[in-house]
């Protein structure tokens, strides 16, 4: 996954996302001090954090969005350099892909949130008694909701997290119900200019599956972990009804550019307004803006011929 693309990271670094833990937290009194703590079940096991931590560091763009969406933004003191949303998030020279324990500790965090345990950063922080919440890239919609609940419990915003997931579910259901032309139609989701795609078993593949769309990458997968690289010949033969471009910012992906590829000008998707340029960040994250991605997909299905 390119650094800003948590959902596509498996393709670039070969990491298969771990299943996220459910958000059943327990509130207890801290031993000896009388301070309240909350224990959250995350991917790295039960994590005990102070009740309403005051110095949160996020090393995940998706989780940064969630923290601000549930009202925990004022508690966040630093986020990684790829946390581009919201604009007022305190971006620092921190990396979730090459994490530096000393740099993170310098912000005196009472909670660190991340989506990848790169270079053993979880153990490194745990050694100095910094609570770490590991919430990997979601592989199912329910996992995305569970992770939002985890962050809500860990930060003292459980009620807000519940309202957020309820709203997400409602908006997604409304969009899917309004999109009646997707069933059986084929699609291709392009991650980069090298014809890498996603299969139906990936998180994004399941999102498209909500509309009944047929994924042309499914038959091409071998040992790709859900992210096969298609051949030009295979793609042209499949002639998908819809083409979704997920790297429009970084890789010069747009309808005009792909029309210049040999043979692509004859694809039905280009002739029938079926090419959709997605926002890179929204298409690569599994947090609060997921309904926006699903709305774009639904609208494209309805508008295409």
Q: Determine the structural domain holding residue 199 and report its residue range.
A: 179-303
- Do 219 and 77 share a domain, yes or no? no
Q: What is the DSSP string of 32-50?
A: TT--EEEEEEETTEEEEEE
Residue 243: per-residue pLDDT? 97
**Phi, psi for residue 4 in degrees, rounded to 5:** -90, 0
Give the E-state strand segments of 99-216 in sequence order: 111-114, 132-134, 186-190, 214-215
- Do 133 and 265 share a domain, yes or no? no
93 belongs to a structural domain: yes
Residue 35: per-residue pLDDT? 75
- Do 162 and 191 share a domain, yes or no? no
Among 205, 202, 156, residue whose Cα is nearest residue 50: 156
Alpha-carbon distance of 60 to 150, in angstroms, equals 14
Domain boundary residue, one of 116, 136, 170:
170
Q: What is the pTM of this model?
A: 0.88
4 belongs to a structural domain: no
CATH number of the domain enclosing 102: 3.40.50.1980
- Do 197 and 144 share a domain, yes or no? no
- Do 128 and 38 share a domain, yes or no? yes
Among 304, 183, 289, residue whose Cα is nearest residue 255: 304
- Burial degree of 283 (CB within 10 A; 0-12, 13-18, 19+): buried
2 belongs to a structural domain: no
- Do 18 and 101 share a domain, yes or no? yes
Encoded tokens for 53: 């931590």
Residue 223: per-residue pLDDT? 58
Give the E-state strand segments of 135-256 in sequence order: 186-190, 214-215, 242-245
Alpha-carbon distance of 66 to 79, in angstroms, equals 12
Residue 14: per-residue pLDDT? 35
Walk along the chain (305 residues) in steps of 10 and give the mean pLDDT of each run.
Answer: 42 34 48 74 96 97 98 98 97 96 98 96 96 97 97 98 98 94 94 93 96 94 82 96 93 90 94 93 96 97 83
Maximum distance among all Cα pairs of the chain, rounded to whole angstroms: 72
- Do 164 and 193 share a domain, yes or no? no
- Do 161 and 19 share a domain, yes or no? yes
Angle at 230 (CA atoms; ends 267, 197), nearest 5 degrees:
90
The answer to whether 217 touches 188, Cβ cutoff 8 Å, is: yes
* Count of all residues that appear for the chain in the document: 305
């Amino acid at each position: 996954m390119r650094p800003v693309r948590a959902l596509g990271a498996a393709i670039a670094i070969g990491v298969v996302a771990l299943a996220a833990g459910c958000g059943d937290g327990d509130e207890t009194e801290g031993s000896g001090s009388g301070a309240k703590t909350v224990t959250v079940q995350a991917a790295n096991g039960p994590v005990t954090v102070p009740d309403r931590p005051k110095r949160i560091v996020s090393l995940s763009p998706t989780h940064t969005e969630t923290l601000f969406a549930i009202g925990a933004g004022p508690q966040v003191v630093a986020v990684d350099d790829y946390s581009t949303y919201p604009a007022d998030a305190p971006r620092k020279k921190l990396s979730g892909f090459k994490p530096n324990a000393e740099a993170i500790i310098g912000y005196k965090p009472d909670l660190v949130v991340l989506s990848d345990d790169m270079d053993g950063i979880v153990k490194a922080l745990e050694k100095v008694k910094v609570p770490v919440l590991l919430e990997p890239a979601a592989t199912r919609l329910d996992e995305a909701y569970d992770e939002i609940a985890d962050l809500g419990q860990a930060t003292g915003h459980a009620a807000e997290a519940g309202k957020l997931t309820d709203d997400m579910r409602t908006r997604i259901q409304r969009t899917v119900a309004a999109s009646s032309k997707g069933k059986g139609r084929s699609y291709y989701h392009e991650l980069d200019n090298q014809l890498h795609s996603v299969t139906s078993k990936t998180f994004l593949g399941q999102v498209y599956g909500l509309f009944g769309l047929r994924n042309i990458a499914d038959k091409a997968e071998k040992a790709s972990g859900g992210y096969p690289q298609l051949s030009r010949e295979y793609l042209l033969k499949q002639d998908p009804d819809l083409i979704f471009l997920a790297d429009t910012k970084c890789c010069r992906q747009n309808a005009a550019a792909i029309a210049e590829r040999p043979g692509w000008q004859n694809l039905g998707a280009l002739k029938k307004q079926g090419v959709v340029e997605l926002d890179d960040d929204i298409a690569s994250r599994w947090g609060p803006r997921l309904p926006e991605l699903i709305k774009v997909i639904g609208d494209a299905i309805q508008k295409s011929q």
